[in-house]
Structure 1
Amino acid sequence: MMANRRIWLAAMLVAGVFSTPAPAQFKPDAEDVRAGIVPAFSIWDVKLGAPVTDIPEMEVVDISCGTDGGPPSLPLKSFAEFGKCQPEPSGLREVYFANDDELDYIAKALDSEYRVQQGGTTIYAHPIVQSALVDEQGVVRGIRIVTDDRAALRDRRLAVTLAKNLKGRYKAWQPSCEDIPPAPGENPVGKEFTHEICTGVDPEGNQRLRMEATFLRKKGQEALNRDTQQVNRGYFESRTRLEVVETPYEPASPDAR
């Protein structure tokens, strides 16, 4: 099946006919999926309360143990191996996966004009690290989304703005947001300083969210190199972190771990 899919994707890129109906196994009923605009399966498709093994392994890649929203660690052969991941203080295990970026690689290999399709694992055009939070029975109890610090400088600088998109997505949850004052050693980036934490509960009262957005310089992240007086590019933190969990679990606070 994967070989057939590669052949089909390559043919579509060469012919430039993404609007043509795709074979049934490629979900032809989803126009955006056919066009490569959205992946066949993303973090928004993860169902809380369902077994983690329900995530279709043919539509994701790089299944691994997570590292609190950081890069993947121990590779897993399948979601059924979730038990190899160490539990967090909550008892949940973080299982990382990436969107299937096969279309990206084919486009790059063919030097395709469809570079707009190349995005890897993203939401709202922001590169992210995504994972499912799984209990000891293998049931998904939450999701975690963190902007990817390994992204290009421009994308990383804009990472804080993902919070605006997420506020819109979870508007019905009526999140309450608090501005956190600078901690010792923290400074603005130019004139901008953002450290905001939002919490909310879904209308049914079954799920909780915590979102943290930061745009600041931490201790040691100086704007200018003291020796050369050149601007230190990339010396800042810009990040958005979202966690949504089912009750009675609570979203993790990184500072409390």
Structure 2
Amino acid sequence: MKCSTCIAIFATLLLTFVMHSASAQAVPSYDLRDITVGMPVGNLPNEGYVNLSCAGAPDRKLDAWSGWRDCPADEQGRRAVRFEFDPETSQDGTKVAGHPVLLTAVIDDKATVSGLNIETDPKARLYIRKKAFLLGNQVKSRYGADGWDCKELQPTAGEQPVGGVFLREVCKKNIPGRMLTVERELFRKPDQDIKSFVDQTLVRITKQTN
């Protein structure tokens, strides 16, 4: 094989590797629509979001993101704001990857979005809720399948699989500027009947402090 041919093949393989590596390390520009963990709360758009309220005081409604200080603070000075997608811009309702969800933005004492919580809605219709555990896979795919540290937890006394599947999983991954945590559960509690079971995904996107 000629040297020039070897060099051409090597260059092609190297370019493919570099492009694959860059793709694997790519981080989505936004974590949820036009919201990115780490952005100033003043940059959050009011358009597209409705029904803002304090997670710690649900009866306390907010007219806009600027009212976040009206919500009770936790021990670290963070305030949690529940919100939904505006039906005018999201005709399917408040959904992420097709799953009905409950959304919470966590804002720190520096007026920065320090976290986002995305939780599958336990009140969703059964035929949708029974797929709730799949949201975790979709989130992991969005941020890249590699680099996740996952732990499988075992059933406690009396807990049973659903359709032959028991799932209690916690996965974590560090990406530039934030920590991702995906918790998935699928099982039946001892006191639940055949039509009842736990099936949910909780996603936490948290700003890195260092």
Q: Tell me if structure 1 keeps the 8 A contact 2:48–2:89.
A: no
Q: Deviations over 1:166-194 (max 9, x none)?
A: 11011166111111101223221131111
- 1:84 and 2:45 aligned: no
Displacement of 1:213 after TM fit? 0.4
1:49 corresponds in structure 2 to: 38
Deviation of residue 144 (structure 1)? 0.8
Deviation for aligned residue 1:65 = 1.3
Q: Distance in 2 between matches of 1:81 and 1:180?
A: 40
Cα displacement string for residues 13-62 of structure 1 (whole angstroms, at most 9, x for unaligned residues): xxxxxxxxxxxxxxxxxxxxxxxxxxxx9833212222223221122111
Structure with more helix by fraction: 1
Report deviation, 1:72: 5.0
Letter in 1 for 2:40: P
CA distance in 2 between counterparts of 1:52 and 1:122 reads: 22
Q: Choose the corresponding residue for 1:61, options 50, 53, 58.
A: 50
RMSD: 2.4
**Maintained 8 Å contact 2:37/2:205:** no
Letter in structure 2 aligned against 1:151: A
| Matching of residue 196 in structure 1 with residue 196 in structure 2 | no
- Listed as ranges, the gaps of 5+ residues in structure 1 are 1-40, 105-117, 224-232, 250-257
Query: Residue in 1 aligned with 2:200?
Result: 239
Distance 1:199 1:163 in 2: 11
Rounded Cα–Cα distance in structure 2 between residues aligned with 1:175 and 1:89: 29
TM-score after normalising by structure 1: 0.64
Match of 1:141 in 2: 114
Change (3 A) 1:96 1:42: farther
Q: Flag the structure with larger Rg.
A: 2
Cα distance change of structure 1 residues 89 and 211 upon mapping to structure 2, 3 Å threshold: farther
Q: Distance in 1 between matches of 2:192 and 2:61?
A: 33
Q: What is the TM-score normalised by the length of structure 2?
A: 0.77
Cα pair 1:43 1:130 within 8 Å, conserved = no
Task: Specify whether residues 238 and 131 from structure 1 end up closer, same or farther in structure 2 by C-alpha distance, changes over 3 A only.
Answer: same
Percentage of pairs with the same residue: 30
Q: Distance in 1 between matches of 2:137 and 2:58?
A: 26
Name whichever structure is richer in strand by fraction: 2
Change (3 A) 1:54 1:103: closer
Distance 2:89 2:39 in 1: 28
Q: Which structure 2 residue ranges, 5 or more long, are not aligned?
A: 1-29
The residue aligned with 1:152 is 125
Three-state SS of the structure 2 residue aligned to 1:242 is strand
Which structure would you say has the larger RCO, counting Cα contacts within 8 Å and 6 or more residues apart? 2
Matched, 1:120 2:75: no
